[in-house]
């Protein structure tokens, strides 16, 4: 492992391709947020630009956050990993307190700061990745020992998962769990342990889903949404109608019909459906290609990172973003059950975009420390 002085001497320019990829997705996102949310925005606020203006402001703040994290030596997160973890748990706990956490759409996920509302579960995504990357880089030689190696991080993951389920926010909880398991696997844990834990995790999620009639209906609706087209299957049907209408070239930007209050959450969870309707197969192909390019560059950064911590951190951030992409597109295309997960860099959403762009900044800093 190189020391910090040597790393300074080997400073490179940040990965330009991943920066260009993220900026391209961000620009597509701004266009689609305006198009997808304009009708709902006018219906609620009397202005078609309300959500677009807020997304533009958040994108600006996110780019500032990205520039800041891009210029912070990623080794600094090692020193503050425990503090970051403490802050993560603190936020996840206080959001559950009535009067502090805001209750919207059946969930208590938001903390309102007056000028800005954010979701602590979004902070938890990056916080868990940072802490796990530090812990696993230190304990690589003990990962075969379940009690002294894996158990401490599994307890932390279990508590995080439980707190987010209490909001409830199953989609984010699954994203964090999958990101954590990716890190554990890459760090060198035994396949037997990972298999047992993965199987146990699936059973726990299924129990949580089937313990509630509402969650069970939402979970199984993707198998046959037309069985209940006006309730549990409504989201999926409207999403598939949007995607199917798009054809090869789409109906054109701004010409979506599903966004006229047919498709629920057209600017957030189901923005990819509007994108498919307006830009067609060509637009979908371009966006997915950009995500694949991001994935490749993220893995490349992890491979060329100068130390284990940097490698795991790059893997964690990349997997956090790509797993969310996979879940969102899977929901929109009726490939997996409906969960409330936004599409990174494209969907409307303040705290999510800030966290994602902050994570990209960390990736860019790691890439500027490539070993020669």
pLDDT digits (tens, 9 = 90+) for 28-41: 999 999 999 999 88
Instruction: State which of 59-63, 113-117, 346-350 shows the largest mean pLDDT.
Output: 59-63
* Of residues 108 and 20, more confidently modeled: 20
Question: How far, in Å, CA of 208 to CA of 215, rounded?
Answer: 8
Does residue 372 sit within a domain?
A: no
For residue 284, give its domain range.
4-367
Packing angle between helix 191-210 and helix 213-220, nearest 10 degrees? Answer: 120
Q: Are 230 and 240 in contact (CB under 8 A)?
A: no
The Cα–Cα gap between 224 and 232 comes to: 10
pLDDT score for 361:
97
Q: What percent of the chain has pLDDT over 70?
A: 95
| Average pLDDT over the chain, rounded to an integer | 88
Total structural domains in the chain?
1
Annotate 235-286 with DSSP letters as a single string. Answer: HHHHHHHHHHHHTTT-S-TT--STTTTTSSSTTTTTHHHHHHHHHHHHHHHH
Would you say residue 60 lies in a domain?
yes
pLDDT for residue 69 is more than 80: yes
Please classify residue 163 by burial: count the beta carbons closer than 10 Å to its beta carbon, then call 0-12 exposed, 13-18 middle and 19+ buried: buried
> Does this model's pTM top 0.85?
yes
Answer yes or no: is 277 within a domain.
yes
pLDDT, position 8: 45
Instruction: Report pLDDT digits (tens) over 247-280.
Output: 999 999 989 998 887 888 888 899 999 999 999 9
pLDDT of 146-159, one tens digit each? 888 888 999 999 99
Q: Can you tell me the distance from the alpha carbon of 136 to that of 79, in angstroms, rounded to the nearest whole number?
A: 14
| Residue 323 located in a structural domain | yes
- Whether 205 shows a pLDDT value over 80: the answer reads no
């Amino acid at each position: 492992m190189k020391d910090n002085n040597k790393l300074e001497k080997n400073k490179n320019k940040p990965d330009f391709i991943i920066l260009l990829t993220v900026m391209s997705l961000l620009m597509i996102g701004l266009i689609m947020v305006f198009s997808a949310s304009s009708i709902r925005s006018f219906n609620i606020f009397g202005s078609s630009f309300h959500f677009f203006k807020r997304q533009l402001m958040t994108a600006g703040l996110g780019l500032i956050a990205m520039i800041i994290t891009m210029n912070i030596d990623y080794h600094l997160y090692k020193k503050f990993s425990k503090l970051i973890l403490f802050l993560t748990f603190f936020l996840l706990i206080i959001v559950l307190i009535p009067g502090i956490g805001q209750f919207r759409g059946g969930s208590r996920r938001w903390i309102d700061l007056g000028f800005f509302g954010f979701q602590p579960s979004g902070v938890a995504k990056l916080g868990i990745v940072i802490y796990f990357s530090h812990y696993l880089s230190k304990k690589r030689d003990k990962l075969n020992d379940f009690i002294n190696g894996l158990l401490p991080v599994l307890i932390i993951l279990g508590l995080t998962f439980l707190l987010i389920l209490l909001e409830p926010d199953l989609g984010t909880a699954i994203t964090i769990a999958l990101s954590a398991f990716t890190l554990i696997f890459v760090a060198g844990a035994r396949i037997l342990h990972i298999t047992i834990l993965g199987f146990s995790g699936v059973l726990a999620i299924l129990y949580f889903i089937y313990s509630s009639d509402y969650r069970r209906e939402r979970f199984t609706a993707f198998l046959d949404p037309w069985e209940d087209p006006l309730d549990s299957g409504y989201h999926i049907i409207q999403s598939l109608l949007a995607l199917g209408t798009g054809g090869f070239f789409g109906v054109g930007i701004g010409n979506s019909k599903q966004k006229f209050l047919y498709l629920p959450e057209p600017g957030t969870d189901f923005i990819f459906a509007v994108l498919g309707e307006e830009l067609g197969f060509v637009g979908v192909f371009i966006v997915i290609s950009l995500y694949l390019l991001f994935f490749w560059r993220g893995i490349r950064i992890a491979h060329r990172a100068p130390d284990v911590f940097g490698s795991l951190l790059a893997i964690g951030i990349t997997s956090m973003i790509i797993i969310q992409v996979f879940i969102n597109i899977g929901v929109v295309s009726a490939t997996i059950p409906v969960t409330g997960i936004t599409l990174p860099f494209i969907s409307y959403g303040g705290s999510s975009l800030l966290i994602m762009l902050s994570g990209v900044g960390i990736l860019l800093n790691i890439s500027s420390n490539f070993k020669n």
